[in-house]
Amino acid sequence: MSRTEDALTSTSNAIGVDLARVLPNDGVPWYRKKHLLFLNYCAFSLALLSAANGYDGSLMNGLQALPQWNDFMSKPTGSWLGFINALQSLSTTLGNPIVAYFSNRYGRKKGLLVGYFFIVLSAILQGLTPNSKGFVIGRVFAGQPTAWCSGLAPLLITKLAYPTHR
């Protein structure tokens, strides 16, 4: 069996015979094709965006250890501290139905742009606010990128990925 036939057989096993017949088979590996490198870079970037979900919880744990943050927030304890931490998850949960409707109507890429907007907005609110109320409102907006990006990025990856890379 020649090298080309062997490659076609392994590709056929991975994606199916019908799809393998219509894909170009020029013998050049994917990492030597600029358009596939860019496509995989985009898919990897989307995967990183989707994987950043747990970062916020770690950040809040670190902030609670800082005396400056405790002074700024008037030393929150008990249910108020739990509420501040839970706002991000609550906002994500409330945003999911909106994300589903928006992405079905306007597309996943536009939905990711909305998620990016909320990332910037929440960072500005939490980083530059002069009082604890602004920080709490920023926490609400911090939950929205999780709903938009973590929900849409995996779907966009599967839609855009080259057939043999899925």
Residue 1 has pLDDT above 80, yes or no: no
pTM over 0.85: no
- Domains of the chain by start residue, with CATH: 1-32 (no CATH), 40-165 (1.20.1250.20)
In the block, tokens 């606010």 appear at 129
pLDDT tens for 41-60 read 989 988 887 776 667 767 88
pLDDT tens for 54-81 read 677 678 888 899 999 999 999 999 999 9
Average pLDDT, the chain: 85
pLDDT tens for 132-152 read 999 999 999 988 888 888 888
Q: How far apart are CA 161 and CA 40, in angstroms?
A: 7
Which residues are CB-neighbours of 162 under 8 A, at least 6 positions away? 30, 36, 39, 40
Confidence of residue 96 (pLDDT cuts 50, 70, 90): very high
Mean pLDDT computed over 98-117: 93
Residue 2 has pLDDT above 80, yes or no: no
pLDDT of the residue at 67? 94
Which residues are CB-neighbours of 39 under 8 A, at least 6 positions away? 160, 161, 162
Please give the share of the chain, as a percent, with pLDDT higher than 90: 37
Confidence of residue 124 (pLDDT cuts 50, 70, 90): very high
